[in-house]
A and B are shown apart, each in its own frame.
Chain A
Amino acid sequence: MEHLDMLEAESIYILREAYKKLGKLGMLWSIGKDSTVLLWLAKKAFYGHSPFPFIHVDTKRKIPAMIEYRDKIAKELGLDLIVHTNEEAVKAGISPENGRLACCKALKTDGLKQVVQKYGFDGLIVGVRRDEEGSRSKERVFSERKEDDAWDYANQPPELWDQFKTDFPKGHHIRVHPILAWNEIDIWEYIKRENIPIIDLYFAKNGKRYRSLGCECCTGQIDSDADTLEKIIEELKHTKSGERAGRKQDQEDSYAMQKLRKEGYM
């Protein structure tokens, strides 16, 4: 079996397990390449239907083109889209000046917590990948979060043979990670193979492009001339720098991601 076919089949299997076994389900859609691939896989798993809502946690600090693109695609695909903002934090003027980790926690982690509570989700499908950073390389496919959204990472239950964790007390929820095994190049090769529409911020303009998308204040561009899918794939095959090198929150602390994710960050 071809590598991409294998990844696709496994992801679809996971999505279908989540749909069958978890009660109320939602999928995070950040407009970025990974969650857009995830959206595509969900359409494939359910034959063009999307039997659960998509969720965007809007920090009001995103790159404006992302919001435009979000609304355009949601309309085109007829997505049931929940947009949520932690209004209190925005009103209080939380910004990276409060410390990047504190800002991420307020606008993203807490924003996410509010959505889970408001809609009573039992399962959240999230497009994180193991190759992104250390704490994600240790994730389970079905990863439990307690009442306070905390991730008990030092005591994860066994997960074998695609038998996922589907039993948990009320008030907990499961983070479902269907593309955990994909790497960055897999994502781009799949986008190319499937002809998936993708936001053009990833393509180089005037010698610069985004490799990873996030809030405008904390996301840097990289030097690049890659303005086509082929060139992006070629570039990634030869680069040595990390995908999230342009994400400033990661650089705050040696264990930044572990600390954020322990509290419920995606």
Chain B
Amino acid sequence: MKDSLNIVVVGHVDHGKSTVLGRLLYDTDALPLGTIEKVKKIAHDTGKPFEYAYLLDAFEEEQKQGITIDITQIQFSTAKRDYTIIDAPGHKEFLKNMISGAANAKAALLVVDAKEGVQEQSKRHGYMLSLLGIRKIYVLINKMDLVDYDEKIYQKVAEDMKNFLLPLGVKPLDYIPVSGLNGDNIANKSPNIGWYKGNSLIEALDLLEGDENLSQKSLRFPIQDVYKFDERRIIAGRIEAGKIAVGDEIVIYPGGRKTKVAKIPYWQDRDKKDIVSAGESTGIQVSDEFFNNRGEIIVKSGDKPPLVTNRIKVSLFWMGKNPMRFGQKYKLKLATAESAAELLSIEKIIDSANLLKRDDKTEICQNDVAEAVIGLKEEIACDIFDECQATGRFVIADGYDVAGGGIVLGLPKEDNAMEKNMRYIMEHLPKNGELTIVMEDGKIQRLERVEKEIFSGLFGEGI
């Protein structure tokens, strides 16, 4: 079986994203019979020239106005693998749709018009890719036909893009000169661009490496639900990193209780397993039954524990029409955890189109990117994004809709370490069970419950 890869196509409006993709689908024979005829008919009926973009822009409104409004996900394959390509809109107004597309991708194509050069959304999208942790990026310098396939222009545009991305730590894998309209360097190397010695788009895609192996990392198994349909009590969820096996000693955060994996239940015989790894939706039965909540994260005993906190330092982007404000109630969702949340402080606000910091830090507006501290009503377990992506990223709901998203940078700095330690101890003290203090480098790292359960109901709680 071939592997599969999700790729998002981003860039400024009208720079040719949908066209490049339409051409790619056409050249790889991915279109069902009659599709081209249908699009030709639409072009004819509306009195417009044929556009490859119509193959992606399926909505009537998109075709009539000639713009992409929402993402399209479409599949094609090469001899090497299957691809799902996500065409994103380039309009600033639809940035939230672009982000929805990019968040589900492992690699990206950033399309820049050779004639217009790097524009506002080229930069903004580049910035968003870096924030979302997408590191595999090809820049496509498109519409080379409009600049007579001039190498100098290609170099200039590539240089501009490179200079913008460098401070963000983003290093594209390559800069490919193409023409979506004519199909130059899309499926095949083009004789029109003889000076370019690199790969065509398809060759470049096939060179991308697949996913890193998440099952080699520390176990992260967020609890999605607990089922009691029959005599079995099943803790269900998806393994986000690492593996889990029958017999493993596990710790459940934020509480810190320990138990053992007793069984991995299944419905069909072919799903009988003693070990399950990252990516699998599974369930476990444990040997000590105590109350479990959705949102808790199961970790292997001895592995690096997650952060446990009710204050996180984050990098976030805001998509809501209403700005993010102090004193306002929000809901933060991270993996399966949820908590009421509020904005505690804004460290900086960056205009993602020019990387300039804004002086006014009173609120975070639509399309802003900010570094901030968020306070949570409940303590949650999470990770720094660079250490574990799935448990290090979150969304923020404002009312009914998701309005923001972001990544965990770490714990906020507290001027007074003693204060922090005391707060930590106070927060963990009540509840039943015996606690030990884990120290490293002379600092309190965390408290851990000892394995023996002490029932203290009648005689008061805690130690």
Query: Which of chain B's residues 88-117 have a Cβ closer than 8 Å to chain A?
Result: 96-97, 99-100, 103-104
A258 engages B74 (CB within 8 Å): no
Q: Pick the residue among A5, A9, A161 that contacts B405 (CB under 8 A).
A: A161
Q: Pick the residue among B104, B268, B279 that contacts A194 (CB under 8 A).
A: B268
> How many residues in B have their beta carbons less than 8 Å from beta carbons of A?
66
Contacts of A205 in B (CB 8 A): none
A241 engages B34 (CB within 8 Å): yes
A69 sits at the interface (CB 8 A): no
A154 engages B229 (CB within 8 Å): no
B32 nearest in chain A by CB position: A242
B281 engages A160 (CB within 8 Å): no
Give bound CA distance, A181 to B61, whole Å.
24
Q: Pick the residue among A3, A9, A154, A240 that contacts B4 (CB under 8 A).
A: A3
Given contacts A159-B402, A160-B402, A161-B103, contact A154 B69 (CB under 8 A): yes
Residues of chain A having any CB pair with chain B under 8 Å = 1-6, 8-10, 12-13, 16-17, 19-20, 43-49, 51, 130-131, 133-135, 137-138, 140, 153-154, 156-161, 163, 165, 167-169, 181, 183, 194, 240-243, 245, 254-255, 258
Question: What is the number of contacts between chain A and chain B, taking CB atoms within 8 Å?
Answer: 152
A258 engages B3 (CB within 8 Å): no
Q: What distance in Å separates the Cβ of B398 from its nearest Cβ neighbour in chain A?
A: 10
Q: What distance in Å separates the Cβ of A246 from its nearest Cβ neighbour in chain B?
A: 12
Instruction: Across the A-B interface, give the 3 residue pairs with the lowest CB-CB distance, nearest first.
Output: A134-B58, A160-B103, A242-B32
Contacts of B224 in A (CB 8 A): 13, 16-17, 20
Given contacts A160-B100, A181-B84, contact A6 B4 (CB under 8 A): yes
A47 engages B232 (CB within 8 Å): yes
Contacts of B395 in A (CB 8 A): 158, 160-161, 163
B280 sits at the interface (CB 8 A): yes
Known: A10-B281, A48-B267, A161-B395. 13 other contacts (CB 8 A): A5-B279, A6-B4, A9-B280, A12-B238, A16-B281, A46-B229, A47-B229, A160-B104, A163-B333, A165-B401, A167-B401, A242-B32, A258-B58
Q: Tell me if B's interface is mostly helix, strand, loop or mixed.
A: mixed
Contacts of A131 in B (CB 8 A): 74-75
B73 engages A154 (CB within 8 Å): no
Q: Pick the residue among A9, A140, A163 that contacts B281 (CB under 8 A).
A: A9
B268 engages A44 (CB within 8 Å): yes
Given contacts A138-B58, A138-B70, A242-B32, contact A254 B96 (CB under 8 A): no
A134 nearest in chain B by CB position: B58
B148 sits at the interface (CB 8 A): no
Q: Pick the residue among A1, A154, A167 that contacts B70 (CB under 8 A).
A: A154
Q: Pick the residue among B59, B230, B238, B402 that contacts A135 (CB under 8 A).
A: B59
Q: Pick the residue among B59, B232, B294 that contacts A154 (CB under 8 A).
A: B59
Most chain A beta-carbon neighbours within 10 Å: one of B3, B230, B279, B331: B279
B281 engages A158 (CB within 8 Å): no
Query: Which of chain B's residues 52-84 have a Cβ closer than 8 Å to chain A?
Result: 58-61, 69-75, 82, 84
B97 engages A156 (CB within 8 Å): yes
B283 engages A47 (CB within 8 Å): yes
A45 engages B34 (CB within 8 Å): no
B265 sits at the interface (CB 8 A): yes
